[in-house]
C-alpha cells in the first residue's frame, strides 16, 4: 500500500519551477517558452508564427545586437599592422581558426594576441 501523503499534496499536480535568479534569465526563459508553444488541436504549426516567435525571442535575448557589433568591428578601417607569424600560429592552434581569419583578427586588435583571443572568446560567448 502507498504511504500516506500530507493533505496539501494532490496526486498528479505538478509544482511550478522555482523562480530564476536574474532578470536576464527570466527574459531568456520567457523567450524560450514562447518558442515551445503549440496548438493542442493537432493542426500543423504555422511557419510564420514560428518565425515571428523566433524573431521576438532573438530580440529579447539581444542576439541581433551582438551580430551588429561584430559587423561594426569588421567594417572599421584596417590599419597597416605587422602581425607576427608565431601569434598567427597560436590563434590557429588554440582557437581553431584559419590562418587568414587569425591574421584578420590580429590586425583588428593591433597585433596583440592576448587582446585578439579575449575578443574572440567574449564575442563567441
pTM of the prediction?
A: 0.39
C-alpha gyration radius of the chain: 24
Q: What is the pLDDT of residue 79?
A: 64
CB-based contacts of 50, cutoff 8 Å, min separation 6: 35
State pLDDT tens for residues 49-108.
677 777 777 777 765 555 555 555 556 565 678 899 999 999 999 999 999 999 999 998
HSE at residue 73, side-chain half, CA atoms within 13 A, is 17
d(CA 52, CA 30): 14
Q: What is the DSSP string of 58-90?
A: HHHHTHHHHHHHHHHHHHSPPP-----HHHHHH
Best-predicted range by mean pLDDT (7-16, 67-76, 90-99, 116-125): 90-99
Amino acid at each position: 500500500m502507498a504511504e500516506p501523503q500530507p493533505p496539501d499534496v494532490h496526486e498528479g499536480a505538478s509544482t511550478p519551477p522555482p523562480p530564476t535568479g536574474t532578470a536576464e534569465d527570466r527574459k531568456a526563459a520567457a523567450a524560450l517558452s514562447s518558442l515551445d508553444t503549440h496548438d493542442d488541436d493537432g493542426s500543423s504549426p504555422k511557419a510564420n508564427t514560428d518565425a515571428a516567435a523566433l524573431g521576438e525571442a532573438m530580440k529579447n535575448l539581444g542576439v541581433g545586437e551582438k551580430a551588429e557589433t561584430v559587423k561594426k568591428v569588421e567594417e572599421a578601417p584596417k590599419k597597416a599592422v605587422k602581425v607576427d607569424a608565431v601569434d598567427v600560429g597560436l590563434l590557429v592552434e588554440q582557437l581553431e581558426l584559419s590562418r587568414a581569419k587569425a591574421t584578420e583578427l590580429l590586425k583588428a586588435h593591433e597585433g596583440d594576441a592576448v587582446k585578439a583571443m579575449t575578443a574572440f572568446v567574449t564575442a563567441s560567448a
